[in-house]
Copies of this chain bind each other. A is one copy, B any other.
Amino acid sequence: MKLKSLFTFVLLLIAATAFSQEEKIVKAIFDEALTDTTAYHNLRLLCKNHKGRITGTPEANKAVDFVAELMQQMNFDRVEKQPVTVPRWVRGEAEKAFIEAVGVKTEVPVSALGMSIGTGEEGLQASVVEVQNFKELETLGIKNIAGKIVFFNRPMDPTLINTFAAYGGAGDQRSQGAVQAARFGAVGVVVRSLTTASDNFPHTGVMRYNDTIPKIPAVAISTKGADLLSKTLKNNSETQFSFRTTCYQLPDSVSYNVIGEIKGSDFPEQIITVGGHLDAWETGEGAHDDGAGIMQSIEVLRIIRELGIRPKRTIRALAFMDEEVAQTGGKEYARQAELKNENHYFALEADRGAYMPKGFGISAPDDRLEKMLALQKYFEPYGIDDFVKGGGGVDIGPLGKFGTPLSSFIPEMQRYFDVHHSGYDTFEQVHLREFQLGSAAMASFIYLIDKGDL
């Protein structure tokens, strides 16, 4: 080989190595995502026109129709509204709460916890016992708790870098606080909002009762409200707390998962699911949680179509219903999959906010896991380098029984619990470029898994 030919050959080799077809397509996906605002615009419409879309509400079902129509307009190969029987909890009138000490009555922001009973028209008033955890309830015992309102005030640990772990570490107060307090005769519970932010937004979320324990009403209080209540109690143990909630439950009703699909060319029977959830707490607009996850999932399919990528497998965008209350949407999706004997090749869930993408968490058999983790190299040029073992999500979780590898989209989460389940979770809090980069990461990940038969 002549030196010049060798030189040309080496150049070609470098070019080929430097920009594989996969790398070029990943770059095209990022370029497309970063220069198109369709998904962001649709997120705005969902947030502004379909607020209050908690499970079972007419608003939720209008949001279902909105998303189904969006998918129809995008000419997906198939769009389906998959019926789901969902619980129907009604928040009722705007909640009111007051701290009263030495004749001074101060209003504080509270939000009924999802599935809580209401206080009744008259509201509830009692003295307050502040605790940090369930163990303190044991120590205090019935004599100190009976007839009182229990105030759970353990904050999320601010020193944990992983805010999701900090959320997990404080979450039992919200989910089980009412049951635990009622065991000792409490008449109501007030739970410090699950956020590291100091603000006036109460952050709601679901709680559970236990059939063997009396049901007592439960509210979340804003962190500033919690600090004020705690300070007032320190100064005056006779402090009274009162709140009024009018929430109640209706019979189960029918809602829907929305499914949009691009048929695979080689293995159409193999299904790759990418989704988020459509229901959202009525306190905010459900922008980060989880309108964004849905719109990013739909954007994955739009990008695939726009770039003329022909996926080997069938790619489905999923807008799951009822993640927040009883997770019936995810369960029904897996139940139908089983009934229809569907082949679920891979699933990705986006439900941690649409912040700057960091990577993906993946649960898969070792051989497939290793290959998927190795995809990180394609993402490093985009500052995305956190491919870790362990992934999934509440909605795709039930697919796990089929052996389907499950994955979670992992964004930067320092800001997520500022907005989570609160009135601050609005469209304006979603940053265009971060949202676009997330869509690009998700589309690239799905493309590479399908393309490489991983």
Contact = CB atoms under 8 A, between A and B. Distances in A.
Interface string A372-388: 00000000011101100
A161 B383 contact: yes
A59 interface: no
A432 B356 contact: no
Interface stretch (A28-36, A174-182, A265-273): A28-36
Contact of A381 (B161, B432, B433, B437): B161
Interface string A18-51: 0000000000001100110000000000000000
Contacts of A382: 161
Contact of A197 (B163, B432, B437): B432
This protein's copies in its complex: 2
A356 B431 CA distance: 14
Contacts of A431: 414-415, 418
B356 A35 contact: no
A414 B358 CA distance: 13
A44 to B, nearest CB: 13
A95 interface: no
Given A30-B159, A34-B159, A356-B356, A414 B437 contact: yes
Interface residues of A, number: 26
A356 B413 CA distance: 10
Interface in A128-182: 158-159, 161, 163
A111 interface: no
A414 B159 contact: no
A272 B380 CA distance: 32
Contacts of A432: 197
A238 interface: no
A363 interface: no
A241 B138 CA distance: 75
Contacts of A381: 161
A383 B356 contact: no
A155 to B, nearest CB: 10
Interface in A284-314: none
B383 A385 contact: no
Given A414-B437, A431-B415, A35 B385 contact: no
Nearest to A27: B159
Contacts of A414: 356, 431, 433-434, 437
A196 interface: yes
Nearest to A35: B158
Contacts of A437: 161, 414
A391 B49 CA distance: 47
Contacts of A30: 159, 161
Nearest to A33: B159
A151 to B, nearest CB: 22
Interface in A353-398: 356, 358, 381-383, 385-386
Nearest to A381: B161
A414 to B, nearest CB: 5
A159 B159 CA distance: 35
Interface string A329-360: 00000000000000000000000000010100
A223 to B, nearest CB: 12
Contacts of A31: 159
Contacts of A386: 383
A434 B431 CA distance: 16
Q: Which of A159, A163, A414: most chain B CB closer than 10 A?
A: A414
Contacts of A163: 433
29 contacts: A30-B159, A30-B161, A31-B159, A34-B158, A34-B159, A35-B158, A35-B159, A158-B433, A161-B381, A161-B382, A161-B383, A161-B437, A163-B433, A196-B433, A197-B432, A356-B356, A356-B412, A356-B414, A358-B383, A383-B386, A383-B412, A385-B385, A412-B412, A414-B431, A414-B433, A414-B434, A414-B437, A415-B433, A418-B431
Given A30-B159, A383-B412, A415-B434, 12 more contacts: A30-B161, A34-B158, A34-B159, A161-B437, A356-B414, A358-B383, A383-B386, A412-B412, A414-B433, A414-B434, A414-B437, A418-B431
Question: Across chains A and B, which 9 residue pairs bring their CB atoms closest together, nearest first?
Answer: A31-B159, A414-B433, A34-B158, A34-B159, A161-B382, A414-B434, A356-B412, A35-B158, A161-B383
